[in-house]
Chain A
């Protein structure tokens, strides 16, 4: 209350106007011996920075943990508008499209040699940082992967298999997944999955090669079969009463997870830490099975260099060395964030990794395999708004307030209003 948002937005815009004169390009001003690096908090980027400085004592890195990933993107927005930018910045995948749409703000990394390392990375991850004329704006630092975390004790109580391979075989497709949900509901009377919009729609809609835009970067959300299918899966799940109607990351969702109010949820690799901290008493009662549809990803970040950065070469040297397949593998061993470089997916350090909280599931193996079946698709400037409107309509139906018969049309109408076209 009483926060002066109008003033804040105007102040940000003022900076934008004031900064239009912001300085020249490239490597003129910098000494290439030091560079400024903006990252998010909570992901221990400092470990990588310290390691790099130890190997290169002549380089000084000024690391700033700006805040959450969203706050970092907002700070970058202001910085780009104002002209005073860091040399290197970490951008979360969901925030990336807005920046990719304005490639003139970033260094085209091809000019520094990105084409030489392109082959090291998953093609669909790489493609998300490629702008309209082929400019490469970021190098992927990690990915989320996707799997289903499930409660073995609740599955046993519902007379369902508990072994992770047998469970994975239960649901090769989303249709089968919903069937298993109905069985679980019939046996226990309790909901099966946390919610329809995140655990079903948001995951299924990423499995294919045409999401909200087609290959020519035109809007396709209203006729892409992949989108309609994902929407219908979620609608079916919501109407079947197999969802606990708990929105991901809400207070009720965390509590429900600890109390066993639902038996499964879609879990990318970074979600495992959340399950551990939300439901510490359930240690050993979880296991991890493959995602219906076989492949998926949720999350991941990119390193980019703003156009007006002074120490572009120093920043690029850092990217090249610290995001190489071997460095990403070392980072995985230390922090658990999944490499975006498939060359190391067969490495024993990754495949042998087991998680005791999740019944010793081989998480490295399960998550990297979920990444191999994905195809590149274009993520456009309005992708996040479109996705949010679809999810909102689904949540409303799930809560018993929206009409499932008109849900699709309502979603299309809301999207038209939201994106103005």
Chain B
């Protein structure tokens, strides 16, 4: 009798550490953010209950909607090319006749393990108005100079490029892992039937990768909506707004500006709650779309 109770409890005991840590460092801060969002909360001063005032102000705040637009813009500019490029590279790396395959596969991870701050500084130089490599190339073909950092689309493109640079390798390896799980026989059979490279890619590779594609879309969406370090570091004169007209200020950066720059923790928490709702909405949308994709038969 005793043993069976022990056996019944054991699995829960094994997974308990995760849930305990999650409760302390994940769930509690989350709920507490909801609580703080109802206050005018100075971290070293007074806390005054204001109800939903922070949210009312937020929805009237042009800076919030600007940050929302920027976040979604940067997310779109970075996620779509990233997933497409990763798919292409994974397909190439999976080629049977590729030599030094392991070397190439491992090198895909180099951007991922490079410090974000270092990457950002280097990219900011590449995109520089006067001495940037990119403007030098544009100059050779008679264009420019383009002031990337000061324009809305330019600064967002710059940040999206950094995100693509950093995450494409990681996504590629995820795709590659599931590509290797596809049996060679299917490809050989397709070859025998006269299917070329493109047709094999379209009708064998992509359908087999569907689950992992869905997974990468979900994770890169959640990550993309929380992008922070790159916009913080690209503008040295106005770091918390990512430039003079908040041209690339994301929601997380706006949250940080209000919370830690201005000491308005309540308002910052309200931004955090809004971001949370946005992420949940995107995740639900993803879920609905991906269940539809999964049901479609190849």
Contacts and interface: CB of A to CB of B under 8 A. Distances in A.
A42 to B, nearest CB: 17
Interface of A: 1-7, 9-14, 16-17, 74, 77-78, 80-81, 98-99, 101-102, 104-105, 197-198, 246-253, 255-256, 259, 261, 381, 385, 388, 391-396, 399, 401-402, 417-418, 420
Contacts of A392: 238, 241, 243-245
Interface string B26-44: 1011101100100001111
A255 B223 contact: no
29 contacts: A1-B223, A1-B226, A2-B223, A3-B252, A6-B255, A7-B29, A9-B272, A10-B36, A11-B25, A11-B29, A12-B265, A13-B29, A13-B32, A13-B43, A13-B265, A14-B29, A77-B44, A77-B263, A81-B43, A102-B44, A197-B237, A248-B237, A250-B124, A250-B149, A251-B125, A259-B131, A385-B261, A388-B238, A392-B243
The 5 closest A-B pairs by CB, nearest first: A10-B29, A247-B237, A392-B244, A395-B244, A6-B272
Nearest to B57: A420
Nearest to A261: B130
A1 B125 contact: no
B169 interface: no
B220 to A, nearest CB: 9
B45 A10 contact: no
Interface residues of B, number: 62
Given A10-B29, A13-B36, A3 B228 contact: yes
A5 B256 CA distance: 8
Given A10-B29, A255-B130, A5 B228 contact: yes
A382 to B, nearest CB: 8
B216 interface: no
A393 B241 CA distance: 12
A254 to B, nearest CB: 9
Contacts, number: 157
A255 B131 contact: yes
A251 B226 contact: no
A1 B124 contact: no
A417 B29 contact: no
Nearest to B61: A417
A377 B227 CA distance: 39
B244 A399 contact: yes
Contacts of B57: 420
A346 B290 CA distance: 76
Given A3-B229, A102-B42, A417-B63, A9 B268 contact: yes
B33 A9 contact: yes
Contacts of A251: 121, 124-125, 128, 131, 236
B54 to A, nearest CB: 10
A249 B237 contact: yes
Interface in B251-298: 252, 255-256, 259-263, 265, 268-269, 272, 275-276
A395 B32 contact: no
Nearest to B29: A10
Contact of B244 (A74, A246, A253, A391): A391
A399 B147 contact: yes
Given A1-B163, A252-B130, A391-B238, A6 B228 contact: no
A381 B57 CA distance: 20
B6 interface: no
Contacts of B45: 101-102, 104
Given A1-B116, A77-B260, A255-B128, 10 more contacts: A5-B272, A10-B269, A77-B43, A80-B44, A247-B237, A252-B128, A255-B130, A388-B241, A396-B244, A420-B57
Contacts of B130: 246, 252, 255-256, 261
B265 A9 contact: yes
Contacts of B255: 5-6, 9
Interface in B38-79: 41-45, 57, 61-63
Contacts of A1: 116, 163, 166-167, 223-224, 226-230
A256 B269 CA distance: 40
A293 to B, nearest CB: 22
Contacts of A261: 130
A379 B28 CA distance: 37
B238 A399 contact: no
Contact of B269 (A9, A77, A385, A388): A9
- Max count, chain B CB within 10 A of own CB: residue among A74, A247, A253, A256: A247
